[in-house]
Structure 1
Amino acid sequence: MKRCGTTRFIWACSMWALGSVGCGSPEDALDPGEGVAWETSRAALTVYEQAALDTAQSAASCKPLGNFYWEIGNASGPLHGLSKGSGVTATTVMPIASASKWLYVGAYVQSKGYANLTPDEKKRLNFTSGYIDENSTLCDAAGTTVSACYGAAYKDVSYRPLQNGRYFYNGGHMQKLALDDIGARRGTGLASVMDWLNPLLGTTFPESDSDVAVAGGFSGSAAQYRVFLLKLLNNQYALSSKLTVDSVPAWPGGANVSFTPWTAGEAYYGLGHWIEGENVNGTWTVTGHSSAGAFGFYPWVNAARTRYMVLARNRQIGNEEGEKSRACAQTVRKAYETGVAQP
């Protein structure tokens, strides 16, 4: 189904004034257009794009979210994007919180090779290692190293033997791994965490002092995260074909689940990311993979690794903002794929 014809490229694929992007190089930073009337904008949208825009503006799951940017694409790059409200575009950099986890694991597996991961490393990546943060303070003081992040003033990660082998959603698992692997690296400057991560992933995420908190301290934009998602789709990472391996139950009441923030039915946790699914004819079936952040940044790829999606927003006051973004993003995706605006 063709969504972006060449004869209407300017209107349907590059005009930010109508909340639409697409069809360019995956790493393009698309600039705002100017002087486009709303009536002309609507006429330029396909029925699928219009349904997505109407849903983003009016659906019950999207209305409370404030301003955000939403984008969907395939392995070749963006198909369509839209901005709800003003101030958030594909290139807006923001804290991505737990969306950092997927990036850190992607880089870690890339650096080691999946075949070389030990059972203990896998347990730290799927949150069953028993290493738990005692507090949630981000390590954001200038010059702090990954190792210093373990001091009593910061993460204070400890080993809880009774939690070994049980799923406990917590950044301590990854922080312990980072301590062993990149302990001397800092948030900014020479030998930073991003100096290690970006070359491994082929990305351009910016540095920040909080990067030493590898499970939740990174910042980025939808366009920067897009590069990571596209490489996942195109089998360019060691993690690409391993999105369902080493997964464990991660929903409330699941086997050996001690703590989980997940609230949307059955789900599993793989190597640094959620495995989403739904019941089809009585059988739970994988539908996608995601790594929602506490402030509302939500990246996703479908189970077949033929589509990606990202919803970018930053709301640091509120609860379950990642789940709210997931619900909205999936509703907009349904509208885009069916051409029918969702309530």
Structure 2
Amino acid sequence: MCKKTVKYCFGFAGLVVAMVSATASAASTNVATSMRAYAATQTAIRNPACVAIKPFYWEIGDQTQSLVSGSTGDRSYQADTLMPIASASKWIFGAYVVQARQGQVSDEDVAALTMSSGYTNFGVTSCIKILPGVRNSQTVAQCFQEENNRGGHNDDFNADAVGKFYYNGGHFQKLAVDMGLGADNKAALQRDMQMYLGTDFVFTFGSPQLAGGVNTSAANYAVFLRKILSKQLFINDLLGAHAVCTNPQTCATALHTPVPSNLSWDYSLGHWVETDPVSGDGAFSSAGAFGFYPWIDKTKTFYGIVARKGEPGSGKDSAQCGGLIRKAWMTGRVQ
């Protein structure tokens, strides 16, 4: 049953999609909102790239509200399902830094947030602790000093990597320490970041690592994306700013990337810019290792999310599906 606030309500083979009435942003092209919703829905249900990753929840919205959403497969993922979002945490930290700097980032901020600062040895599992007492008390600085299974310590510095893109959480951890967050455990880290991002954006940290420790839901992450679109956060003006190339096969200043070698994306302040010359559409995104994939289209009009928890490395598959849903929405054509 559709609620009174819903303008359109579709049902497709176990998938319920509710789309609220569009705001002026949806009128930015001649594509009817109903066509967008139908195309996005059918793509999420039927495109092989999306069928391959179900079950998942997906959503598209603008700066004020969700416009269309759905839950595929067994409907085990919903808007309020909590999950670790892994590297989708990076966009949150990037926005925090820009907000704390009131939009005026330093050269050091840019180097860290574009993963070019030389801290390339952070091990993502080294700060995940089993004992609750240790887990709850560990600080950002302690996490940065941990030994890891890569050999050495998380805070090892590689002078040869300075000025070159190397995808690794060490850059963010070092910047957090430099910004005075070193003594924060995961609860204090959440509070300190919400001072700048707003308490209406609800999230927690599973471990005090800035590049991958956040737990949240699609509904809560959507609040964050809407705040970017509505310019409540300074990072709106810096989406895509200071971007660096990331594919070692096509870029002389790139050393390591998790993106498939057939894609040449750029990396901005804690987020990807999907600029591949063949398949890219310029969207801003931040895929997580387990398959949580948020995006904002290049016109900064719409946001989208694919939310699920898959196996490590699932982010690229969610990005492929999510990009197709985005294309369907933007064009009004099923992909």
Q: Structure 2-normalised TM-score? A: 0.84
- Whole-Å Cα distance in 2 between the matches of residues 204 and 13 of structure 1? 29
Q: Classify the secondary structure of the residue corresponding to 1:219.
A: strand
- Whole-Å Cα distance in 2 between the matches of residues 270 and 176 of structure 1? 18
Q: Classify the secondary structure of the residue corresponding to 2:143.
A: helix
1:331 corresponds in structure 2 to 324
Go from structure 1 to structure 2 and tell me whether the alpha carbon gap of 1:160 and 1:221 turns closer, same or farther (over 3 Å shift).
same
1:183 corresponds in structure 2 to 182
Contact 1:69 1:90 in 2 (8 A): yes
Distance apart, 1:73 and its partner CA: 1.2
1:256 corresponds in structure 2 to 253
Distance apart, 1:161 and its partner CA: 0.4
Q: List per-residue Cα deviations over 1:142-195 (Å, max 9, x = no partner).
A: 21111110233456221100000111011000010112220011113xxx1110
Contact 1:49 1:80 in 2 (8 A): yes
Go from structure 1 to structure 2 and tell me whether the alpha carbon gap of 1:88 and 1:179 turns closer, same or farther (over 3 Å shift).
same
Contact 1:205 1:219 in 2 (8 A): no
Matched, 1:56 2:44: yes
Go from structure 1 to structure 2 and tell me whether the alpha carbon gap of 1:159 and 1:92 turns closer, same or farther (over 3 Å shift).
same
Contact 1:130 1:160 in 2 (8 A): yes
2:289 corresponds in structure 1 to 294
Q: Classify the secondary structure of the residue corresponding to 1:157.
A: coil
Query: Partner letter of residue 158 of structure 2?
Result: R
5+ residue gaps, structure 2, are 24-32, 129-134
Go from structure 1 to structure 2 and tell me whether the alpha carbon gap of 1:318 and 1:100 turns closer, same or farther (over 3 Å shift).
closer
- Whole-Å Cα distance in 2 between the matches of residues 232 and 90 of structure 1? 19
2:263 corresponds in structure 1 to 265
2:202 corresponds in structure 1 to 205
Go from structure 1 to structure 2 and tell me whether the alpha carbon gap of 1:58 and 1:14 turns closer, same or farther (over 3 Å shift).
closer
Q: Structure 1-normalised TM-score? A: 0.82
Distance apart, 1:334 and its partner CA: 2.7
Count of equivalent residues: 310
- Whole-Å Cα distance in 1 between the matches of residues 324 and 89 of structure 2? 24
Go from structure 1 to structure 2 and tell me whether the alpha carbon gap of 1:277 and 1:294 turns closer, same or farther (over 3 Å shift).
same
Contact 1:186 1:209 in 2 (8 A): no
- Whole-Å Cα distance in 2 between the matches of residues 287 and 137 of structure 1? 32
- Whole-Å Cα distance in 1 between the matches of residues 111 and 256 of structure 2? 15
Q: Classify the secondary structure of the residue corresponding to 2:282.
A: strand
Matched, 1:312 2:301: no
Alignment of 1:1-343 (within 5 A): 9=6, 12=9, 18-23=15-20, 46=34, 48-85=36-73, 86-115=75-104, 117-140=105-128, 141-153=135-147, 156-181=154-179, 182-188=181-187, 192-202=188-198, 203-210=200-207, 212-253=208-249, 254-263=251-260, 264-279=262-277, 287-315=282-310, 317-319=311-313, 321-342=314-335
5+ residue gaps, structure 1, are 27-44
- Whole-Å Cα distance in 2 between the matches of residues 105 and 120 of structure 1? 13
Distance apart, 1:213 and its partner CA: 0.6
Distance apart, 1:23 and its partner CA: 2.5
Go from structure 1 to structure 2 and tell me whether the alpha carbon gap of 1:142 and 1:332 turns closer, same or farther (over 3 Å shift).
same
Q: List per-residue Cα deviations over 1:234-255 (Å, max 9, x = no partner).
A: 1121211011221111123213
- Whole-Å Cα distance in 1 between the matches of residues 11 and 190 of structure 2? 30
- Whole-Å Cα distance in 1 between the matches of residues 45 and 90 of structure 2? 29
Tell me how large the CA RMSD over aligned residues is. 2.9
- Whole-Å Cα distance in 2 between the matches of residues 76 and 209 of structure 1? 29
Distance apart, 1:14 and its partner CA: 11
Q: List per-residue Cα deviations over 1:320-339 (Å, max 9, x = no partner).
A: x1111111012123334444
Q: List per-residue Cα deviations over 1:39-87 (Å, max 9, x = no partner).
A: xxxxxx9554343333222211111212111111122221100110211
Go from structure 1 to structure 2 and tell me whether the alpha carbon gap of 1:304 and 1:267 turns closer, same or farther (over 3 Å shift).
same
Aligned-pair identity in percent equals 33
Contact 2:86 2:288 in 1 (8 A): yes
Distance apart, 1:113 and its partner CA: 2.2
Go from structure 1 to structure 2 and tell me whether the alpha carbon gap of 1:118 and 1:156 turns closer, same or farther (over 3 Å shift).
same
Q: Classify the secondary structure of the residue corresponding to 2:177.
A: helix
- Whole-Å Cα distance in 1 between the matches of residues 37 and 107 of structure 2? 45
Query: Partner letter of residue 89 of structure 1?
Result: Q
Contact 2:121 2:157 in 1 (8 A): no
Go from structure 1 to structure 2 and tell me whether the alpha carbon gap of 1:107 and 1:252 turns closer, same or farther (over 3 Å shift).
same
Contact 1:138 1:213 in 2 (8 A): no
Distance apart, 1:273 and its partner CA: 0.6
